[in-house]
Each structure stands twice: as structure tokens, then as C-alpha cells.
Chains A and B, each alone.
Chain A
């Protein structure tokens, strides 16, 4: 049995991102870096022309990025459900109603909003990045 590790969901998120038809269709200029702060772990995503160039778990304190999306673990848990519950179902909803914080250069976020929105919805497939990927967890559950 595979023990849950942070890397399972992270790897799955990277694989899904790089194979996603929407990101491939609209990501020609999707180049930026952002931090997903999920309370217990943080994830630095560097995008280059629609592809995940680098995905670092718990980056060094002085790592730089364009913008950050921060929320508590409970909000991210809701966000990463296959069908998220109301107010956890997107970064705008969670920012208005769940205390999520959008920080840094928000102009970069707005310039890439279509692709960021799509990419973060892939978390509904992987589950929270802090644990086993949802597909991995399912495989393990069947064993």
C-alpha cells in the first residue's frame, strides 16, 4: 500500500495541468508564478507559456512570486472537493465569504484570470495538495 505523501497530489496536479485541453488552447501567454498557501503546506507554481515549469512544495522563505492565494486548510479542503460546497467553490467566492486572501501583484492575476481559474479547478480532481492525490487515494482504497 502506498502511504499518502504530499507529492502524490502535487504530481497529479502538474500532470493534469500540462495535459489540460483548455490550458493548451488558451495558455500561449500564461506565464507567471504564484503561491498557493494551504495553511499546513505552501506550493509555488511557476507557469511558462501554459505549462508548469516548476512546482515547489514549501518553498524557501524568500522565494519570489507574482501573487499569492492564501486560505485556511478547511477552506481549501472545501475548494478541492469534486463538487465544492457554496462559498468554497472559487477564489472570488472564498475571498468574499471565507476569508481567502489574494495578495501580491493582482494585476498579474487579472491578466491570467481565465487560465488561473481553469487550472485551480483541477484541484477538484486531485483533492488538496497536502495529501494523497484523489486518484491515488482511490487506488489505495481498492487494494
Chain B
């Protein structure tokens, strides 16, 4: 019998088809009950959800599933394409198709989808395009539009891309967040520079819902938005404006936290997440 402290979190692979791409997707999961599907931020991977995956207060009621988007972490680029011959630029069409294909492959019924940053933006896209596939969405650090971060610096061959990506997002975290967690997040960002810029094509270019927010039905698919006060890309003002334009949506501002709340300071984020989950429970289960 193993004597080490073995986590209840388990890892799996599932192979899915998304548009014309075949992906072998890695995901971590723990818990039982209502599926809660979690998307990491651009250029990163599912370890950002490490605190949530081992939070017994949540996993006692929710089946938490945190996947690596293709080209991130342990999810490779497409198996059936010569992907190295093309510049990677993620689109809203492909991103939403990926999430739905993943949920279908795992036969998840009425999952709640939660994503941060570009994951928050795709949560809004899912609420618009697939309101009946998801019980609710929790866009974290999301907004209708988030320009300005599709930059050549993330992949400039004359600079250390790993450090530029990692230190370039350092300010997105709050100074109050614990050093150890901020540096873990920094470390994750040293690992994703080849995907970061292409992810940000979706984040800052292809994602633009400024004229479509009223088409999202926040009663049919509840939208609970969470934004940290230290997020300079999608500020609380941006989140509030976005939620106000979506019928039935709610907005919660998170104090003393930034753009990577689940990874930079999970205990603080958990307070707000529990509030969001409580609101969803009240609106959908009673």
C-alpha cells in the first residue's frame, strides 16, 4: 500500500473530434454530483484549478472537471493535422465547438461551465450559442470585448518567450495574493508561450459580443460573472457593463484579487465561487 499522500484527483484522456481536428484531451477530475467544467486561462493549463479540485466543500456536491484545451498542458495539438505548418489562431467557432464536443464525449448532463479570462469570454459565447446545453455559466474575468493583448511580444524570437509570457501577466495578479501561488501561476505561464499568442487571437480579436449581449438569455442559461478588482484587462467596470447588458445576468466584484483568481488565491476566490454556485442553485433547482 502506498505510504504517500495520494490526492483524490484523477487524470484521464478522452479523444474527441472538433470541426476537422482530432484531439486527445487530458482532464483532471474529482467529486460527485452536478458537473462543473472548468477552463483555464490563455497560455496556461488545468493546474490553475488545483485548489478547487481538492476543495471538499465543493467536490462533495460537484463533479469538478478541469481539462487542458488542445495545445495546452497534456492535450497535444491536433493528431490528424500538420499543425506546425500553420500559425495557430483560436476562433470563437472552434473554441465553443471544442467545449461542446468535450462535454458530449463525457456525456455530461446540464453541466455548469466556468472559465477564466479567455475562458470567461468563451463562457459568454457558450451562453449565446448553446443556452440549452449548459445549466449555467460562470464567466470569470470575462467581458463582451477585451482588446489589446494580441501582441507579437509573446513570441518574439529575440526575447525569452517563457519569461515574457510569465512576467508579462504578473501584474494581472493582486499584490495581496500569496507569493507561493503567484509564483506557481508564473511558473505555469513559462510553459505555454507557443499557444499564448494564438489563444489571444480569440481573446482580443475574434471575441466581440458588444452588439450581441442582448441576444443572450440569462434566464434560460443563468450567467453569473465574477471579476477581480486588480484585473486591468477586463476590469470590474467591464464585467459590470457586460452583465448589465445581458437580460437576467448577475455580476459580482471580487476584492483584493486579480485575473487568475482560482490560481493566485483560491481561498479568497472560493468565497465568491460559493456565492455564484448558490445563486445558480437558487435559480435552477428550486
Interface contact B233-A83, CB-CB below 8 Å? no
Of chain B, the residue at the smallest CB distance from A87 is B232
The binding surface of chain B is classed by DSSP as: loop
Interface contact B170-A117, CB-CB below 8 Å? yes
| Chain B residues near A124 (CB-CB < 8 A) | 175
| Chain B residues near A86 (CB-CB < 8 A) | 174, 229-230, 232
Interface contact B171-A89, CB-CB below 8 Å? yes
Name A113's contact: one of B167, B174, B175, B235 (CB within 8 Å): B167
Docked pose: A81 CA to B177 CA in angstroms: 16
Name A111's contact: one of B158, B174, B175 (CB within 8 Å): B158
Interface contact B153-A110, CB-CB below 8 Å? yes
Chain A 70-87 near chain B by CB (<8 Å), digits 1 or 0: 000000000000011011
> How many Cβ-Cβ contacts under 8 Å join chain A to chain B?
53
Docked pose: A129 CA to B170 CA in angstroms: 23
Answer whether residue A97 sits at the interface, using C-beta atoms and an 8 A cutoff: yes
**Residues of A that sit less than 8 Å from B by CB:** 83-84, 86-87, 89-93, 96-97, 106-107, 110-111, 113-114, 117, 124
Docked pose: A83 CA to B232 CA in angstroms: 16
Interface contact B163-A113, CB-CB below 8 Å? yes
Docked pose: A92 CA to B170 CA in angstroms: 9
Docked pose: A129 CA to B156 CA in angstroms: 32
Of chain B, the residue at the smallest CB distance from A118 is B167
Shortest CB distance B197–A (Å) = 13
Name A92's contact: one of B166, B174, B232 (CB within 8 Å): B232
Given contact pairs A92-B171, A117-B170, A111 touches B159 in the complex (Cβ within 8 A): yes
